[in-house]
Amino acid sequence: MQKRQLLRALAAALALPALGSVHAADPIKIGLILPMTGQQASTGRQIDAAVKLYMAQNNPVIAGRKVEVIVKDDASTPDQTRRLAQELVVNDKVVALAGFGITPSAMATAPIATQSKTPMVVMAAATSAITEASPFVVRTSFTLPQAAVAIAEWANKNGIKKVVSLVSDYGPGIDAEKYFADRITLNGGQVVDKLRTPLRAPDFAPVLQKVRDASPQALFVFLPSGQGAAFMKQFAERGLDKAGIKLIGTGDITDDDQLNDMGDVALGVVTAHHYAAAHKSPVNQKFVEAFKKANNGMRPNFMAVGGYDGIRVIVEGLKASKGEGGEKLLAAMKGQIFESPRGQMLIDGQTRDVVHDMYVRKVERVGGELQNVEFDAIKAMKDPGKSK
Ligand code: DHB
């Protein structure tokens, strides 16, 4: 009896290293929370496709372990985002959280990142304050103050003095409204009316009537990805394009996901943003071709690039941390600098926010397709929301 017990104990002890090595071969998990359904579904579709492309191209194995991405649909409902994040951390033991289609989803999750010391890579949401909501947030999308300041400067230089602004009434829209107005007035321009539409099910008719009545030289617009096409349609239907009101905005309104179907109303619209599918570089050309090939010809937009760069930052971070999450992974993500399809990009070591070129672009027909054609840029732009 005793002998058998001893043998059992021996067997158990011998099994331990074997068990340990099985454990070491467990995949390293990353939790990707995206709006795959609902109003923001195009954001989820683009980011999911980009992350899958990166994983297929790189097939990362780190310290002998595969990297696995677990995708969860939050339908852009912040309560869901937070609940899914909690499950991914507690049950799946993910080393990083990623995704976050809208600002409220990112904000709802930030306390979980802090409490569990899990790095959280924001690939879509773009309100300046998100990176300050947790020391574990890293951003690979962009910030609205970056885009709004860049287009305001272009407007100033191009004789646009009287403007009406129209934004989606939540975090990124409020940033866009404020930073656009502050910059354009600093240089002698004027925002004569500031209009807002709700994030959910916006109705552009009443605000467009107000724009017409104010008859500004230009209308500055921020709307979240996916709302641009419906807005353009109504802008044209109400004859605002023919009334000589110039449309300018952040690049979210000439989103490459929808741009090619917007029609002539989009021609000549000037926007500022960090990414255009038409960006001229070998790295981007390769990215666009591979993305289209893998996705039935779908054109990547700025959300896709936020996802592609975000998964890269995590995987490169994991290589440096030898597969460990927490503070080690966070440290390995700070200061990463590389050539993205958007151009050169840096994760600022202090702010954990993205530093990149903010391009000024104009919609043109190129080879039968509508494209955001870049013609100017503010180089290596930090988030103006933080340079206080
Ligand atoms: C946000 C969402 C968007 O779709 C976008 O284009 C920009 C910002 C956001 O919620 O932060």
Write the DSSP string, 174-240.
HHHHHHHHHHHHHTT-EEEEEEEE-SSS---HHHHHHHHHH--SEEEEE--TT-HHHHHHHHHHTTT
Minimum-distance ligand 1 atom for the alpha carbon of 302 = 6
Mean pLDDT, residues 278-304 taken together: 98
Q: Tell me: pLDDT of 5 over 90.
A: no
Residues 6+ apart with CB under 8 A from 20: none
Ligand 1 pocket test: which of 47, 103, 353 has the largest number of ligand atoms within 8 Å of its C-beta? Answer: 103
Residue ID of nearest Cα to ligand 1 atom 3 = 224
Cα–Cα distances (Å) from 65 to 16, 22, 36, in that order, read: 19, 10, 28
Q: Tell me: pLDDT of 22 over 50.
A: no
Minimum-distance ligand 1 atom for the alpha carbon of 43 = 4
Minimum-distance ligand 1 atom for the alpha carbon of 105 = 10
Mean pLDDT, residues 347-356 taken together: 98
8 band by pLDDT with thresholds 50, 70 and 90:
low
Kindly give the distance from the C-alpha atom of residue 203 to the centroid of ligand 1, in angstroms, as a whole number.
18
Q: How many residues does the chain have?
A: 388
SS3 sequence of 318-386: HHHHCCCCHHHHHHHHCCCEEEECCEEEEECCCCCCEEEEEEEEEEEEECCEEEEEEEEEEEEECCCCC
Kindly give the distance from the C-alpha atom of residue 383 to the centroid of ligand 1, in angstroms, as a whole number.
15
Kindly give the distance from the C-alpha atom of residue 215 to the centroid of ligand 1, in angstroms, as a whole number.
28
Q: Contact 138/333 with Cβ under 8 angstroms?
A: yes
User: In sequence order, what are the beta bridge partners of 61?
Assistant: 66
Q: Tell me: pLDDT of 9 over 60.
A: no
Q: Contact 148/378 with Cβ under 8 angstroms?
A: no
Kindly give the distance from the C-alpha atom of residue 170 to the centroid of ligand 1, in angstroms, as a whole number.
10
Type of residue found at 193 = D
Residue ID of nearest Cα to ligand 1 atom 10 = 102
Over residues 155-182, the pLDDT tens digits come to 999 999 999 999 999 999 999 999 999 9
Ligand 1 pocket test: which of 74, 225, 256, 301 has the largest number of ligand atoms within 8 Å of its C-beta? Answer: 225
Instruction: Give the chain's end-to-end CA distance (angstroms, integer).
Output: 75
Kindly give the distance from the C-alpha atom of residue 288 to the centroid of ligand 1, in angstroms, as a whole number.
22
Query: In which element (H, E) is residue 153 found?
Result: helix 144-157
Encoding tokens for residue 198? 């709700």
Question: pTM of the prediction?
Answer: 0.94
Kindly give the distance from the C-alpha atom of residue 168 to the centroid of ligand 1, in angstroms, as a whole number.
9
Q: What's the pLDDT at 24? A: 56
Kindly give the distance from the C-alpha atom of residue 296 to the centroid of ligand 1, in angstroms, as a whole number.
25
Residue ID of nearest Cα to ligand 1 atom 7 = 224
Kindly give the distance from the C-alpha atom of residue 102 to the centroid of ligand 1, in angstroms, as a whole number.
5
CA dihedral 335, 337, 341, 342 (to 10 degrees): 70
Over residues 232-274, the pLDDT tens digits come to 999 999 999 999 999 999 999 999 999 999 999 999 999 999 9
Query: In which element (H, E) is residue 282 found?
Result: helix 282-294
Sign of CA dihedral 96, 100, 106, 109: negative
Ligand 1 pocket test: which of 102, 122, 142, 231 has the largest number of ligand atoms within 8 Å of its C-beta? Answer: 102
Residue ID of nearest Cα to ligand 1 atom 5 = 224
- Name the region of 159 (left: φ>0; alpha: ψ -120 to 50; beta: rest): left
Minimum-distance ligand 1 atom for the alpha carbon of 250 = 6
Q: What's the pLDDT at 175? A: 98
Higher-confidence residue: 2 or 265?
265
Rounded Cα gap, residues 41 and 157, in angstroms: 37
Question: Count of CB atoms within 10 A of residue 210's CB?
Answer: 12
Q: What's the pLDDT at 386? A: 87
Kindly give the distance from the C-alpha atom of residue 252 to the centroid of ligand 1, in angstroms, as a whole number.
8
Over residues 191-201, the pLDDT tens digits come to 999 999 999 99
Kindly give the distance from the C-alpha atom of residue 123 to the centroid of ligand 1, in angstroms, as a whole number.
10
Q: Which residues line ligand 1 (CB under 6 A)?
A: 43, 102-103, 124-127, 171-172, 224-225, 252
Minimum-distance ligand 1 atom for the alpha carbon of 170 = 10
Task: Report DSSP letters for 39-85, one per residue.
Answer: TTHHHHHHHHHHHHHHHHHH--EETTEEEEEEEEE-TT-HHHHHHHH
387 band by pLDDT with thresholds 50, 70 and 90:
low
Cα–Cα distances (Å) from 132 to 14, 106, 139, 145, 334, in that order, read: 49, 11, 11, 15, 15
Q: Tell me: pLDDT of 45 over 50.
A: yes
Sign of CA dihedral 41, 45, 48, 51: negative
Rg of the Cα atoms in the chain? 23
Kindly give the distance from the C-alpha atom of residue 226 to the centroid of ligand 1, in angstroms, as a whole number.
10
